[in-house]
Structure 1
Amino acid sequence: MKRQPSPITHHPSTGGRLTDRLLNVRKRRALGWAALAYAGVVLAGALVGADITLRSKTRWVKGVFVPVGRRGNEVYLPAGSETLSRGPIGIVPLLPNKGHAVLGERQVVGTLVRRPVQEERGLLPNGALAWASTFVYNGTPAQLGVEFEDTAVSTPLGDMPAWHIPPSGDAPGRADAIVIVIHGHGGQRPQALRMLPALRRTGAASLFVTFRNAHGAPRSETGYLTLGDQEAEDVISALHWAQGAGYRRAVLYGFSMGGNIALSALRERHQPYPIPVTGVMLDCPALDWRATILSQGQRFGLPPFLARHVATFTQWVVTRRSGQDFDTVDQIRAAPNFNLPILMWHGTRDRTIPIAQADALAAARPDLIEYHRVEGGKHIRVWNINPKAYDAQLETFIGKVLPEVEG
């Protein structure tokens, strides 16, 4: 009699529990690794963001290097972000000589951009390698044929380099007035030279200043920017310089972070001023640094939820490193305290400082602020969209806040 094989007994519940446990372990490990990777991305983004926020500076005015093709009064350039931009651009040949030209509005010709020569100093030869930029100038006021004085503003940290452009005589009744021009975060004084002809037509003098931790300026103890807070003290020192030079009235003119510096100088602790400040001009001002840091993450393609986390942690790192109080440089929050006329421009294509900040400030103080919302304007390049309109608005505003006086 043959033995019958024993029936095989299956225990599906035991095998299922083991498989479930393995899957759960794998899921937990995967989630753990994913969380660790996410935290690493947030940490790396925050550290980079904090370093840019606190230390950014450069000695070069932004532009591109391009070969120049020239036929008569027309220049042909390769198509690119700068050469395709709306409005005038500047061009400076590197070889064989150094000149400067202002080129007019673009016209695309195949793969090239054609622009007419509007102004030229020196020579812009065919075949030259040249710097081209929407900032138009990269040197000193001498690039415009304007006489100026290299000077320095004395501060507790040391001497801040500055350019002094004396009154032009076009409006003798403003020879006692001066416009303090303040560059932005990581910026340079030449970026505002586009506006110098209009400033000179007002008859007022100009003082193009630098501030602590900017390129060429003295370093603070930490070397960190304070986003407008302590830099305002350097503007107050510039007003002391102006007083010593015989000026009796001033207007502040700030670009990007320079706008925040100008508004920070309006705080009560800085008053009374060495000389009266009668108005403020703001070009694409940084008014809310929390919103600015968040927008930078979004600008570089981070998903909204990741950008928010990186921005929050960036602010925490900045505060831990430097003691930065973001409330002190929130100018939208400070708007009820402003008591001077303000002229403000901002461009709808500004990807550095969200235009919503300017919209909010203008809505908060329509009684004080003349706001020009420039369609198509990029960051601190709204002048390029319509130079004549911008210059006219600037000159009219200065005429209001710095009326001509006898003697």
Structure 2
Amino acid sequence: MVRDRSRRCDAVRPLLPWLRWGGTGLAAGAAVASVLAATSSGLAAYYARMIVIPNRRREDLPILAVAGAAGERRVVLPATAETTVPGRYALYVGGGASRALIGEILSLDGSTVTRAVTGGDEAALAAATRGWWSGDIIADPGELGLAHTDVQIGTSAGLAPAWRIDPDDPAGSAAATWVIGVHGRGARRSETLRGAAVMHRLGYTMLAISYRNDGEAPRADGGRYGLGGTEWRDVDAAVDFALDHGADRVVLLGYSMGGAVALQTVDQSSRADRIAALVLDAPVVDWTDVLGYQARLNRVPDSIGRFSQLLISHPAGRAVTGLAAPVDLKSMDWVSRAGQLHTPTLIIHSVDDDFVPAGPSEELARRNPEFVRFVRFERARHTKEWNVDPVRWEETVAAWLPSALRDW
């Protein structure tokens, strides 16, 4: 243990001159000593690794009771900020092996909520005592009645599986528009299927893709997230796949961190001129803001949170984080870079998002009204705007996207 602490101190020593990074750094003297003490004890290092290491979902929601016959089943859960929001959701149990579909609120007594079970593996739900709550309710395109093909995208990390969903009229002019679904942190490609039905109705071809380190695509970069700084290469490969298979133009549909990945793709890709529009749901448009918010939410001392960001973004921090390369957080601050975004962008974001605050999304649109439109949702938690109001979500996309593409 003493040896490990020594290594951590050696790793962070080159960072000391950078403690005033970003103009909001720490004061010298006692503050530096405090940060070093925290780092040597593993707090800053632990938080930095937590940010970049892909995490397994925890079954953190107790299932208090399951009652009723098949077709009339109901589940009793603790009343939380997530479980008391109207809409359609999934409750995953058995380590994610099974999924029950959850519908309307039947009763709410303050400490517990009773909701209808509308489908999925009801037997597994009845046998479970804990699970996790999710907005990812569509397991594959077949559940939407959409024919699809399993394809492999050749990326620099290896072959990444994807679903290709073709329109009913593959010869139609709209079919030359391909939508690439980019999921968020800790999620899988099924997350993007909530946007598949409206894209299908618009006549577009859709690719729901996986990318490095998400549990479906190959492992790369030390198994760490690049927060968009590495994952964009796999989206870029999907853009190439689309263009090689008949696409004239591409739309990126990004959720949460997938929004950050999409923004890095239009910024870095050599084929960015073929990316005609972005549709972003609860996107990360400024990682510094999100990480600061998450640190406060998790009661991480401000100094530790800032130093963790420095560990992620400085080359010397790689010994602590395990990153293959530092993450350039400043290049992912699209609020500051608002004038550099020239791709028509629709942002759908709930002001009640408890994970990625909507403020930076709204500010990006305010600073760049020519290219960015912000649509405000309420009540929905993170990336669950569609779950709360699928009609409004789809109508918003259907009204904006064809118009944006006409100007391309």
Please tell me the TM-score bracket, short chain as reference: 0.7 to 0.9
Between 1:217-226 and 1:370-379, the stretch displaced more is 217-226
**1:365 aligned residue (365, 368, 372):** 368
Partners of 1:128 and 1:229 lie apart in 2 by 42
Partners of 1:62 and 1:290 lie apart in 2 by 28
Amino acid at match of 1:324: V
Partners of 2:143 and 2:132 lie apart in 1 by 14
Deviation at 1:245, TM superposition (A): 2.0
2:310 maps to 316
Map 1:208-357 to 2 at 5 A. Answer: 208-267=208-267, 269-273=268-272, 276-302=274-300, 306-307=301-302, 309-318=303-312, 319=314, 320-321=317-318, 322-357=325-360
Report the RMSD for the aligned CA atoms in angstroms: 3.4
Deviation at 1:349, TM superposition (A): 2.3
Amino acid at match of 2:212: R
- Spell out, residue by residue over 1:280-309, the C-alpha distance to the aligned partner (whole angstroms, 9 max, x if none): 01111111112222111110134xxx22x0
- Spell out, residue by residue over 1:328-359, the C-alpha distance to the aligned partner (whole angstroms, 9 max, x if none): 22222222111121110122222322222112
2:9 maps to none
Between 1:78-87 and 1:126-135, the stretch displaced more is 126-135
Amino acid at match of 1:295: Y
Query: Which runs of 5 or more residues in structure 1 are unaligned?
Result: 1-31
Amino acid at match of 1:312: R
TM-score (norm. length: structure 1): 0.77
Number of matched pairs: 362
Percentage of matched positions with identical amino acids: 25
Q: Aligned in 2, Cα 1:61/1:149: closer, same or farther, shift over 3 Å?
A: farther
1:385 maps to 388
Task: Provide the secondary structure at the position in 2 that maps to 1:247.
Answer: coil
**1:399 aligned residue (383, 402, 406):** 402
**2:52 aligned residue (47, 51, 54):** 54
Partners of 1:392 and 1:272 lie apart in 2 by 29
Contact 1:257 1:286 in 2 (8 A): yes
Task: Provide the secondary structure at the position in 1 that maps to 2:222.
Answer: coil
TM-score (norm. length: structure 2): 0.77
Partners of 2:190 and 2:333 lie apart in 1 by 27
Between 1:275-284 and 1:170-179, the stretch displaced more is 170-179
Partners of 1:211 and 1:373 lie apart in 2 by 29
Partners of 1:34 and 1:277 lie apart in 2 by 46
Deviation at 1:63, TM superposition (A): 8.1
Contact 1:249 1:276 in 2 (8 A): yes
Amino acid at match of 1:292: V
Contact 1:65 1:129 in 2 (8 A): no
Task: Provide the secondary structure at the position in 2 that maps to 1:179.
Answer: strand
Q: Aligned in 2, Cα 1:281/1:62: closer, same or farther, shift over 3 Å?
A: farther
Contact 2:93 2:124 in 1 (8 A): no
- Spell out, residue by residue over 1:240-278, the C-alpha distance to the aligned partner (whole angstroms, 9 max, x if none): 1112222222110111111011111112x52344x8221
Q: Aligned in 2, Cα 1:315/1:133: closer, same or farther, shift over 3 Å?
A: closer
Q: Aligned in 2, Cα 1:73/1:402: closer, same or farther, shift over 3 Å?
A: farther
CA radius of gyration, larger in: 1
Partners of 2:284 and 2:150 lie apart in 1 by 28
